[in-house]
Structure 1
C-alpha cells in the first residue's frame, strides 16, 4: 500500500462493504456529446445514488469499516462531519442505515435546499461560520467534547477507497477507456478513481477539473503543501472548500495519479449545465458539469477517444438553474 494508504485491494474491500447500500451506477453513452466532439463520450451517472452524489460511497465505506473493526458501540456517540452539502447528505444517509446519530456542520455559504435535504434524512444540521474551515472547528469541538466520530469529507483512506469503487465500475463497463475527467476539490474522488484506473489500465489519462477561483487543491499542488484559499460563491459550490491544513492523504494521492489539471470559468460551467439539461435531460449541479466545461473551454484532445465524465450532484434549485441560464446566455 502506498504512503497515502489507498490501494486497489482497499478499493475492492470497500466495494464488498458498500454492496447493497450504494447503487452501482450506469455508464451511458451521450449520443449528442459524442457527435459534437467526434468521440465516445460516456456519462457515469452518480446522480442515481439515493443522495444524488458519489459521496455516499466513501461515507458508507468508512462507517461500515469502523463498525466492522470496533463494533457498533464505538459509534454510540454518533458521527459528525463538515460538508458543502453532498457529503453531509451522504453521512446522514449512511448513519441512518446503521442506526447511528449524525451531526452535519455547514458554513453559511451552503444553499438552503442542501441544508433541508440533510435534515430530511434525520441528521442535525448546524450552520457555523463563513467557510468550510470554520464549520470544521465546530466538528473538532464535538469530537473532543462529546466523543463523536469524524467522517471526513475526503482526507481519509477509507473515504477515498469508497469513492474509488467508481473506478472499478468504469473499468468493468469500458475496459478500453482512454480518459476519465473528474471534478477536483478535496481529492477523494479523483484520488480514489485514479488508484483503481491506473492499477487496471495505466494508459488511461486521469484529468482533474478545478474551479477558476477558490481552488485550494490547485494552489496546494503548485506550492507542494496545503494552501488555504478564500472561498467564493460558485455554480460549482460542491468544489469549494480547503483541503485541510494537515492534509495527510489526498494531496499525495492526487499528485500520484493525476495526469493533467485544468481550471474552468463560471461561464463554462453554466454553459455545460444548460447543455446537459438540454441534450441529456439531466439536471445537474455545476460540479457535475465541469468535465464537459473542461472539454469545451480548453479544447481537450478527445476526438476518436473513449472519455468518461463523472456526473455527480443533482441538488439544483430553480434559482441556481436560472442563474446558470442567464450566465450561459440562454
Structure 2
C-alpha cells in the first residue's frame, strides 16, 4: 500500500493569525448565501459502525466548491477596485477559473483565464461559454504568464483561491456543517483534498477556533505530494501525469505553505490506481459522479480503512464533479489503469 500518513504539530494560535476569521466567514455567508447551493451530506457506511458522511460540494452552480471563494474574492474586488477597473485574471487548471468566469459574468466584469495545455477541454469550453477569454500556456507556465499579463494591463490577479477573501468564502462550508448541528463534540475527522490549500486552510482555522478536538486530514496524489514530501523521508513527487489535475501544483502558494503545517493533523498520499478505485466506488455505491481530485479523501479511506477507526465521526469532502464524460466512462469500463 503506497499511502503515507503523517501526524503534524498542531500548535497554531489562530487568534493571532486571523483573530476575526470566524466572524468574517459568518458575514460572508450572510452576504452571499443566496448565490450558493445549500450544503448536502450523504451517509457513507460501506462496512463500518463509524458515523461517516460525504460532504457533497458537486451540487454548486459550477460543479465544484471554488464558486464560494471566487464569489467572495470578486465581492472584495468590487468594494475596493479603482475606477474603470473591471478586468480579472486567473491562472487555473479548471474549477477556480470556471468559478471566476461565471461570477465575473454575473457582475458584468471581464475575465481572462490562463490554463495549462493539459487542462481538460470540457473545463476550457465551460469557461469560454461564459464569455471569458481563455489563454492556453505550456504546463507549469500559466501563473507566470498570467502575472505578466496582469502587470502589463493593470488588471486584478486572483491566486487560485489561496488568498484571504477566498478563504472566507470557502470557510462557509464548515460554517454550514456547524449551523446544521452535524459537527458534534465526538472525536471527528474532516478529510479534504489538498491542492493550493484554499479549502484546507479556512477549514483548519475555523476548527481551531470552534472545534479544537476535531482533526483535519489532507490528501494528495503521490505524483504531486509537495506537502507530504516535506515531512516524510524518501517520499518525493514524481511530477508525472495524474488524473487529479485539479490539485497538481508544483509548489504551494506562500501563504498556504506557511499555514498548512500548523492546521493539518494528518497527511495522506494516494496512488493513481487508488484514485481510480475511488471514482468507481463513489459512482457504483453512491451514484456520485466526481472528478479525480475530488475523490482523494475516499481513495485514502478505501486504501487504509483501519486508520479511521480511531475516530467516532468522519466527514469526507467531495469537492467537484467536473470530470470529462469520455474519461469518466473509460474509468468505469476499466480502460484507464494508471
Distance, in Å, in 2 between the alignment partners of 1:230 and 1:150 is 29
Q: Determine the C-alpha separation between the residues in 2 that align with 1:88 and 1:156.
A: 15
Counterpart position of 2:225: 215
Aligned partner of 2:38 in structure 1 is 24
Equivalent residue of 2:223, what SS? Answer: coil
Deviation string 1:271-297 (CA, Å, 9 cap, x unpaired) is 111011011111110111111110121
Cα deviation, residue 321, structure 1: 1.8
Residue correspondence of structure 1 range 141-152 to structure 2 within 5 A: 141-152=148-159
Distance 1:313 1:70 in 2: 30
Q: Deviations over 1:159-179 (max 9, x none)?
A: 122111111112223131611
Classify 1:179/1:328 alpha carbon distance in 2 versus 1 (closer, same or farther; 3 Å).
Answer: farther
CA distance in 1, matches of 2:42, 2:97: 27
Deviation at 1:203, TM superposition (A): 0.7
The answer to whether structure 1 residue 8 and structure 2 residue 54 are counterparts is no
Deviations 1:16-67 (A, max 9, x none): 332212222212223xxx1423322211111000100011111110110121
In the TM superposition, what is the alpha-carbon distance from 1:87 to its structure 2 partner? 0.5
SS in 1 for 2:323: coil
Decide whether aligned partners of structure 1 residues 66 and 54 sit closer, same or farther in structure 2, where only a CA change above 3 A counts. same
Match of 1:124 in 2: 133
Report if the CA contact (8 A) 1:221-1:251 is conserved: no
State TM-score, norm by structure 1: 0.88
Aligned to 2:216: 206
Q: CA deviation at 1:113?
A: 0.9
- Judge conservation of contact 1:43–1:308 (CA < 8 Å) in 2: yes
Uncovered stretches (5+) of structure 2, i.e. residues with no partner: 1-14
Cα pair distance change 1:199/1:282, threshold 3 Å? same
Q: Is the 8 A contact 1:212 1:265 kept in 2?
A: yes
Aligned counterparts of 1:5 and 1:268: Cα–Cα separation in 2: 39
The change in CA–CA distance for 1:67 and 1:318 in structure 2 (over 3 A counts) is: closer
Structure number having the greater helix percentage: 1
Residue of structure 1 in register with 2:54 after alignment: 43
How many residues are treated as equivalent by the alignment? 316
Q: Which moved more, 1:268-277 or 1:155-164?
A: 155-164
CA contact (8 A) 1:182 1:209 kept: yes
Alpha-carbon deviation of 1:269? Answer: 0.8
Alignment match, 2:105 = 96
Assess, with a 3 A threshold, how the Cα gap between structure 1 residues 97 and 302 changes in structure 2: closer, same or farther.
same
Deviations 1:118-166 (A, max 9, x none): 11122111101122xx011111122111111011113211112211111
Alignment of 1:247-266 (within 5 A): 247-266=253-272
Q: Tell whether the 8 Å contact from 1:285 to 1:315 is kept in structure 2 after alignment.
A: yes
The match for 1:67 is: 78
CA contact under 8 A between 1:164 and 1:192: conserved in structure 2? yes
Using CA pairs under 8 Å that are at least 6 residues apart, name the structure with larger relative contact order, 1 or 2: 2
Which residue of 237, 241, 261 maps to 1:233? 241
Task: Write the deviation string for residues 79-128 of structure 1: whole angstroms up to 9, x where unpaired.
Answer: 01010100110110111111110000000110111111111122111101
